[in-house]
């Protein structure tokens, strides 16, 4: 099992006022799955992703990643996992402005164990998302859809176990969004684990399993039937 959560609770303390956001989450994700986590605003879906993605620690409960109990991991160990074994794609792209596409994708490699071949790996990742001809463009010289593809390339460059995508089509037009979902589908078909957070059922239906969360609890966990799945057609942006 790649990811296993047992009775995960997450509280936030604001000047002594404790707010519980996750209420005993139990979730298992096998390697190679494509899961969409859905829920309305304030449901806890982003908090759940941040917890699974080691951006935040749970208050209580057990979290096993690739068979390892994460409770005893130091902050440095968690940082290495985030860089080397997990890739993130965010709605707002999070690219460095006035920095080239190639340099943005190379950034995670600077902090990785890989000491050589950074440019080659970054070029390979960009070519895999159809941006091999945009290497030296600045990040503020490309479209929103292209920025998100750069973000996917950056997420891929360290060859992670799992890619987390938080509302990856939220800032995109329908054509660019379809391109991004096509790329995520292809990555999953190649064996990559994808965990997608979205409020859009049409985006969620590209996945193979939908987990619905409401008020910090999982209220539904079901497979997406082949007849229900939406498949993106690749478009040029």
- pTM for the model stands at 0.91
CB of 163 closer than 8 Å to CB of 193: yes
What is the C-alpha separation between 55 and 11, in angstroms, rounded? 14
Whether residue 190 is contained in a domain is answered as: yes
What is the number of domains present in the chain? 1
Q: Which residue in 184, 179, 178, 182 sits closest to 166, CA to CA?
A: 184
Which range marks the domain in which residue 33 is found?
Answer: 3-223
pLDDT in tens, 134-153: 999 999 999 999 999 999 99
pLDDT in tens, 49-63: 999 999 999 999 999
DSSP H helix total and E strand total for the chain: 7, 10
- For residue 237, pLDDT beyond 90: no
Instruction: Provide the pLDDT for residue 233.
Output: 59
Instruction: Provide the pLDDT for residue 214.
Output: 96
Half-sphere exposure of 119 (CA within 13 A, CB side): 3
SS3 (DSSP) at 92: coil
Q: What mean pLDDT is reported for the chain? A: 93
Whether residue 233 is contained in a domain is answered as: no
Whether residue 235 is contained in a domain is answered as: no
Give the confidence band of 210 by pLDDT, cuts at 50, 70, 90: very high
- Provide the b/e sequence for 44-60 (b: ≥16 CB within 10 Å): bbbbbbbbbbbeeebbe
CB of 211 closer than 8 Å to CB of 35: yes
Whether residue 176 is contained in a domain is answered as: yes
Whether residue 234 is contained in a domain is answered as: no
Whether residue 125 is contained in a domain is answered as: yes
Give the confidence band of 213 by pLDDT, cuts at 50, 70, 90: very high
Instruction: Provide the CATH number for the domain around residue 109.
Output: 3.40.50.300
pLDDT in tens, 80-90: 999 899 999 99
Q: Which residue in 16, 28, 72, 82 sits closest to 211, CA to CA?
A: 28
pLDDT in tens, 106-124: 999 988 877 678 999 999 9
Whether residue 175 is contained in a domain is answered as: yes
For residues 60-72, give the mean pLDDT: 95
What is the C-alpha separation between 98 and 140, in angstroms, rounded? 6
């Amino acid at each position: 099992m790649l990811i296993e959560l047992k009775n995960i609770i997450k509280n936030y303390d604001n000047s002594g006022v404790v707010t519980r956001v996750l209420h005993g989450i139990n979730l298992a994700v096998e390697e190679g799955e494509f899961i969409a986590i859905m829920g309305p605003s304030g449901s806890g879906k982003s908090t759940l992703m941040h917890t699974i993605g080691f951006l935040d620690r749970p208050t209580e409960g057990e979290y096993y990643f690739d068979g390892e109990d994460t409770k005893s991991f130091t902050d440095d160990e968690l940082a290495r996992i985030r860089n080397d074994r997990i890739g993130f794609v965010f709605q707002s792209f999070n690219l460095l402005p006035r920095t080239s596409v190639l340099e943005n994708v190379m950034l995670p490699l600077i902090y990785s164990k890989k000491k050589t071949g950074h440019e080659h790996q970054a070029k390979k990742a960009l070519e895999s998302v159809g941006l091999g001809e945009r290497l030296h463009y600045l990040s503020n010289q490309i479209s929103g859809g292209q920025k998100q593809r750069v973000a996917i390339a950056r997420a891929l460059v360290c060859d992670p176990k799992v890619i987390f995508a938080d509302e990856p089509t939220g800032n995109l037009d329908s054509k660019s969004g379809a391109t991004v979902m096509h790329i995520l589908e292809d990555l999953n078909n190649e064996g990559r684990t994808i965990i997608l957070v979205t409020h859009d059922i049409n985006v969620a239906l590209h996945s193979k399993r939908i987990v619905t969360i409401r008020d910090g609890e999982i209220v539904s966990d079901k497979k997406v039937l082949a007849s229900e799945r939406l498949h993106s057609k690749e478009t040029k942006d």
